[in-house]
């Protein structure tokens, strides 16, 4: 005789061999065979798997995408490879009203010329916020003799070229086309 699980209360014996046919009692008796240690191990594995999956999905997989760009904040400023690369430095302070006026012009120029070639030079834009007084910022300010804000300098072929005009898009474009 074949025994079936009783879901409709018809009185057929369950394959477990018990007379109590409720699902709750079957789960309860099946779970009582697990010790607390085994349950703790299972829960730990599930939690670890969830954390590992979260890490892989949010931190590891994006680096495999073709559109991934590594964070350039850890690359020392002014260490752009020599050759046909020019780095335009923008020194600014958050509290400076002239910097607040120049920032949209800088962003517009940056969006138009970033990583593009001008007269044979690839242009790279770098912003240095001088409001934060870190050792790196202090070193950069001393190295490039920054005395006021905003200050724009161009690094090309190991030379530092100073921009000395009001930062407008037309004057910055003229500066790039003339110096490069």
Q: What is the pLDDT of residue 61?
A: 73
SS (H, E, C) 96-147: CHHHHHHHHHHHHHHHHHCCCEECCEEEEEEEEECCCCCHHHHHHHHHCCCC
In order along its 180 residues, the chain shows pLDDT tens digits of 555 555 555 555 545 555 555 665 655 555 556 677 888 898 999 999 999 988 888 777 766 666 655 555 555 555 545 568 889 999 999 999 999 999 999 999 999 988 888 888 899 999 999 988 888 889 888 998 898 899 999 998 888 999 988 899 999 999 988 888
Two tokens, residue 160: 């530092």
What dotted CATH number matches 85-179?
3.40.30.10
Two tokens, residue 78: 């002014």
Q: What is the pLDDT of residue 33?
A: 64
Q: What is the pLDDT of residue 19?
A: 54
Angle between helices 169-179 and 97-113 (to 10 degrees): 60
Domain segments of the chain as ranges:
1-33, 37-66, 85-179
């Amino acid at each position: 005789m074949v025994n079936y699980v009783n879901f409709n209360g018809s009185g057929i014996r369950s394959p477990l061999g018990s007379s109590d046919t409720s699902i709750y009692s079957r789960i309860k008796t099946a779970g009582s065979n697990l010790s607390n240690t085994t349950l703790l191990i299972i829960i730990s594995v599930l939690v670890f798997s969830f954390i590992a999956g979260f890490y892989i999905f949010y931190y590891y997989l994006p680096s495999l995408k073709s559109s991934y760009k590594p964070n350039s904040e850890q690359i020392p400023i002014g260490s752009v490879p020599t050759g046909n690369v020019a780095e335009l430095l923008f020194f600014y302070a958050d509290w400076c009203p002239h910097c607040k006026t120049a920032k949209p012009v800088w962003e517009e120029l940056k969006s138009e010329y970033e990583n593009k070639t001008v007269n044979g030079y690839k242009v790279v834009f770098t912003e240095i916020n001088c409001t934060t007084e870190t050792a790196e910022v202090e070193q950069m300010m001393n190295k490039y003799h920054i005395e006021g804000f905003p200050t724009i300098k161009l690094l090309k072929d190991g030379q530092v070229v100073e921009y000395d005009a009001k930062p407008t898009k037309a004057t910055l474009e003229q500066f790039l086309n003339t110096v490069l």
